[in-house]
Homo-oligomer: A and B are copies of this chain.
Amino acid sequence: MIRSLDPRTGEAFGPEFSATTNNEIDGIVGAAASAFSTWSRTSPRKRAFALRAVADALDAQSEALVAIADRETGLGIGRLAGEVGRTTFQIRTFAGALESGDFVDSHLDAAVDGPLPAGHPRFVRTTVGLGPIVVFGASNFPFAFSVLGGDTASALAAGCSVVIKAHSAHPQTSQKVFDIALDALVKSGAPTGIIGLGHGHEFGKVVISDPRISAGSFTGSKSGGRALFDMAQARISPIPFYGELGSINPVVATSSALADPTQFAVAYLDSLLLGNGQFCTNPSILFVPRNEEFLSALENNLSGREAQPFLSPATKELHDRNRAILSSSTQGIIIKAKEAPAKGLYTDAQVHIFQTSQISTLEDLHREYFGPTGIVITYENVESALSIINQLEGALVASIFAHESDEGVKDILSSLTRIAGRITWNSWPTGVAVTTGQHHGGPYPAATSPLHTSVGIHAITRFLRPISFQGFQDELLSSLTYENRSN
């Protein structure tokens, strides 16, 4: 049984959700496979219409959705209302891409007379939906990376049906978003199996291994994501698995960034502690030159910060375990915020910042601290900072705070380019724009597929498979593919 837990009080509340049975899974996946065969041939314009209907329906119910999500996650009304807005914005962004024909349009390669290799027949290269997709909802974004988040929206835009695993930290929000979305989709002409929802740990394992499923998409922890990735690759027919796993995001500041040490310390803490540090773009490791004013400002500003609750018992447990290891390993000092109240998932949520000039092992940096924990490494010179950075694993994002004429900036950027999917200049890594220029991914473990992004329009390419039609004339192709291209 899965039941909502109020992180602020630790109390369970609301209906009980049974784990989806294998029989039910078979029905959900079967319906998704059947829905795919019609939805994938639906015209882009019709798909866009259905997506806009979903966005409108979610916006219309935003207040009720936010209230449930706030009680399930403790993330706060303001943040969650913003997240619904972001979610419907991105659904409409994919609708817009379908209407404009970007990412799904055909490319005509006219015939060239003469023998191969210079000569060739006529080609139309286009894309088709990959097949039914399984999406795993994330704990920390109950809207933007969950039931109708960017993964589902981009898969639907690509012509795929989607089977979704609800995250156990917000089953009621998941169910409500699902009900609203399915209703809007079906009223817009989509087949009933277009999206399916399931609950429980086994659900994900069974679905990712089902031969009718063509890809998986996941946002979450390294261990959870890797386990699902391994299942997806071990299948008789392996499938793409787009995992965005826990990410260590380095921030490198030069001394010119510390011109106003207090301002920098406050901005760092604001970014670090957003959503209780439970952000995949969290500035988890800050490299700064040794600067007493900055360290004092950090301590002074941190001391007044209140604890925020963890998202779920599992999140809290993983964080606490890893932080305990770090505490025993680190040789520096620990700066702390206000003590956390001993109730619900506030317990032990007191912010800790580990400040050190040297690391004991690289492991200390690669462990996931998904919560109110920061690491500040003070460096002697850029070379010593780079000697650590050059050993870091893949990161979703890395940041530089510097003046462009500072010594070593070019080397810092070069090192960060090797490990990160996004690099921010004099700006904090949190706050991910949903736009064409976005790349939210990176070398493993930032993403299990370093070529793909889970945010921004390019996210749709994860669910589109190229196909070439050789020797076909346009009339024949259009009569044989979409139900009616002029729709």
**CB contact between A480 and one of B112, B116, B409 (< 8 Å): that residue:** B409
Q: Give A63 to B246 CA distance when docked, in angstroms.
A: 54
Taking a contact as CB atoms under 8 Å apart, the answer to whether B116 and A414 are in contact is no
Interface check A9, CB cutoff 8 A: no
**CB contact between A431 and one of B116, B237, B442 (< 8 Å): that residue:** B116
Taking a contact as CB atoms under 8 Å apart, the answer to whether B422 and A470 are in contact is yes
Taking a contact as CB atoms under 8 Å apart, the answer to whether A238 and B439 are in contact is no
Known A-B contacts A426-B471, A444-B237, A471-B425; A465 and B437 likewise in contact (beta carbons under 8 Å):
no
Min CB–CB distance A29 → chain B (angstroms): 16
Known A-B contacts A237-B393, A450-B130; A427 and B121 likewise in contact (beta carbons under 8 Å):
yes
Taking a contact as CB atoms under 8 Å apart, the answer to whether A471 and B424 are in contact is yes
Min CB–CB distance A130 → chain B (angstroms): 7
Interface check A239, CB cutoff 8 A: yes
Interface check A420, CB cutoff 8 A: yes
User: Within the oligomer, what is the number of copies of this chain?
Assistant: 2
Which of A15-23, A85-93, A193-201, A265-273 is near enough to bind chain B? A85-93
Interface check A117, CB cutoff 8 A: yes
Q: Give A479 to B120 CA distance when docked, in angstroms.
A: 41
Q: Give A481 to B416 CA distance when docked, in angstroms.
A: 12
Q: Identify which of residues 232-268 in chain A touch chain B, using a CB-to-CB cut-off of 8 Å.
A: 233, 237-240
Taking a contact as CB atoms under 8 Å apart, the answer to whether B120 and A423 are in contact is no
Q: Give A459 to B89 CA distance when docked, in angstroms.
A: 33
Known A-B contacts A240-B449, A444-B239; A433 and B469 likewise in contact (beta carbons under 8 Å):
no
**CB contact between A476 and one of B109, B124, B425, B476 (< 8 Å): that residue:** B425
**CB contact between A117 and one of B107, B125, B230, B434 (< 8 Å): that residue:** B434
Taking a contact as CB atoms under 8 Å apart, the answer to whether A441 and B466 are in contact is yes
Q: Max chain B CB contacts within 10 Å: which of A41, A414, A470?
A: A470
Q: Give A160 to B145 CA distance when docked, in angstroms.
A: 33
Interface check A410, CB cutoff 8 A: yes
Min CB–CB distance A276 → chain B (angstroms): 19
Taking a contact as CB atoms under 8 Å apart, the answer to whether B445 and A467 are in contact is no
**CB contact between A90 and one of B117, B238, B426, B468 (< 8 Å): that residue:** B117
Count of A residues near B, CB < 8 Å? 80
Taking a contact as CB atoms under 8 Å apart, the answer to whether A451 and B466 are in contact is yes
Taking a contact as CB atoms under 8 Å apart, the answer to whether B117 and A433 are in contact is yes
Interface string of A453-470 (1 = CB under 8 A from B): 100001001101111111
Residues of B within 8 A of A445 (CB): 237
Q: Give A449 to B107 CA distance when docked, in angstroms.
A: 21
Taking a contact as CB atoms under 8 Å apart, the answer to whether A117 and B404 are in contact is no
Residues of B within 8 A of A239 (CB): 444
Taking a contact as CB atoms under 8 Å apart, the answer to whether A437 and B124 are in contact is yes
Residues of B within 8 A of A13 (CB): none
Taking a contact as CB atoms under 8 Å apart, the answer to whether B469 and A425 are in contact is yes
Interface string of A104-126 (1 = CB under 8 A from B): 00011100100011101111110
Taking a contact as CB atoms under 8 Å apart, the answer to whether A89 and B108 are in contact is no
Q: Give A284 to B380 CA distance when docked, in angstroms.
A: 66
Inter-chain pairs besides A422-B468, A439-B466, A450-B465, 5 sampled, C-beta below 8 Å: A89-B118, A109-B436, A233-B233, A437-B470, A443-B465
15 chain-A/chain-B pairs, Cβ below 8 angstroms = A109-B435, A123-B436, A125-B438, A130-B450, A240-B450, A413-B480, A421-B467, A423-B467, A423-B468, A425-B476, A437-B468, A439-B467, A451-B461, A451-B462, A453-B466
